A and B are shown apart, each in its own frame.
Chain A
């Protein structure tokens, strides 16, 4: 039976973003928390692999206690099990720290065949986790897949890699990073929602991991945010006045200054 794990993150929704006019920062109050949009493609891939090959699918997230809601959503989509890694000690973890905690998690799970991630999160957008987890677990990361099949312990797929369209085969376990729009994430059904509340969510905290040295004590993330500043965009904001012809003329001058010239296409429009 295929053991599938999908990594997800709860993020603030990017729809209807409001900026505080006074401070210039994002207004966080009243902003809905959602499953990171890229992760939905990973969930869909995991669910369809489970259906095709018989398996068990677990959603894992690391975040504050309220991330439980995102896991309920995964359960409602059809995920079998879920795991929330939450502890104040893990707050403000950077990607290295997150990778180390995930490594501990999978070392404890031991029995995994496929771990799936999205491309990046919409809030921090580093995109580093898939690569770092591949290093940490010493399993190959397969990106940009378009067709795949699994035979016994062998994973075969077509993927784009750099300038090549490759046909590859690799032994499980592997990590898969799913690209955006790879599939059509399923909707949640009413019966799915009902089932979601009958399933249990497992919780892991700092003490679950036998306190390995590098996670010991307070947060050991190598990077620290020392300051945040509002971006001040220095732009001229010069208003171009005049009638329509004058405006067009001025624009043509600016375009010419930027090296944009008429090119002959041999076509008429």
Chain B
């Protein structure tokens, strides 16, 4: 086993979203990673792989990095499992980061898992928080991971192998705008032997089925449950969403009742939301639903039953008929 002391610095895989912009989640992770790097007295380093990567560097420089290591090439326009894994692994071998953080996205999760195997190290997925502690070893990173359906937090360390790797979901940390003096920028030449690619792509038209906005991106989510009683009432959620630029979601029951399609389910086996505001109409608050809403900044719950579980996780509790309140709000927005 290699000596953990040989490894230093905090790396963030700074994903580029749809070859358009730096992923918001990556910027948020940079905020937390800056804190960690300061405590360690080490550098915060952003790793970027993209087509025309130079265009994204100014934004990244505004978010507290000491150094950017990047590769720029046509082949890096989109995440490719073989190319990205091999290239980033080479960087790890060369520079030996102590901590490496990734956004919890389709590409980030895949890349982190593959690299963790290559490095024979641990990967903590979807951490809720990160801190450094001397409790179990010198300046070890402790990652808080939800377990047993989010009711328990498991604190996980990776004591003997490096890098210490974690993925982080959108909305977990806050980005901070700050600019370090003399940000060091390293361009690594792109070199990849394409004969290593085993999958042959015959054709690849752009997908048209990708929703332009999804529950997990929505800033305002309006949720409904069994308490709305009828499809007619549930439909009013969609009216309210249209008038307020919100996004409708719900519990399992409305799907079983035929009130909404399956992909709008929030919770286990559905989506998690990261909204600024969540408005829950007639939702009792089963744990299966609650685990999907806890990342929402503010939660308002409306339910007839004062003992409904949802009130325990709500910032504002309205005890009353969800349908009446919904109608009242609609009347305001309709005028």
- The residues of A with any CB-CB pair to B shorter than 8 Å are 14, 17, 19, 24-26, 37, 94-96, 99, 122-128, 131-132, 134-136, 139-142, 160-171, 180-181, 214, 221-231, 233, 235-240, 244-245, 247-248, 250-252, 254-255, 258-263, 265, 267-269
Contact = CB atoms under 8 A, between A and B. Distances in A.
A19 B151 contact: yes
Contacts of B210: 163
8 contacts: A19-B151, A124-B147, A127-B109, A171-B198, A231-B294, A233-B294, A238-B315, A248-B332
Contact of A164 (B159, B205, B324): B205
A131 B203 CA distance: 24
Interface residues of B, number: 92
Nearest to A169: B200
A25 B149 CA distance: 10
A24 to B, nearest CB: 7
Contacts, number: 239
Interface of B: 18, 78-79, 81, 85, 106-107, 109-110, 113-114, 116-118, 120-126, 135-136, 142, 146-161, 198-210, 219-220, 239, 242-246, 262, 268-269, 276-277, 279, 286-288, 294, 298-300, 311-320, 324-325, 328-330, 332-334
A158 to B, nearest CB: 9
Contact of A223 (B117, B122, B276): B122
B158 A222 contact: yes
Contacts of A228: 147, 152-155
Contacts of A225: 154-156
Please name the 8 residue pairs, one residue from A and one from B, whose CB atoms are nearest each other, closest first. A223-B122, A248-B328, A222-B122, A131-B113, A128-B113, A132-B117, A258-B277, A164-B204
A92 to B, nearest CB: 12
Contacts of B154: 225, 227-228
Contacts of B244: 255, 260-263
A14 B149 contact: yes
Contacts of A141: 81
A135 B114 contact: yes
Interface centre among B120, B161, B199 (most CB of A within 10 A): B199
Given A165-B204, A235-B313, A252-B332, 10 more contacts: A19-B151, A95-B123, A126-B125, A162-B106, A169-B200, A224-B158, A235-B299, A247-B325, A258-B277, A269-B239
Nearest to A165: B207
Nearest to B294: A233
Contacts of A99: 117
A258 B300 CA distance: 12
Given A163-B207, A166-B203, A233-B312, A17 B149 contact: yes
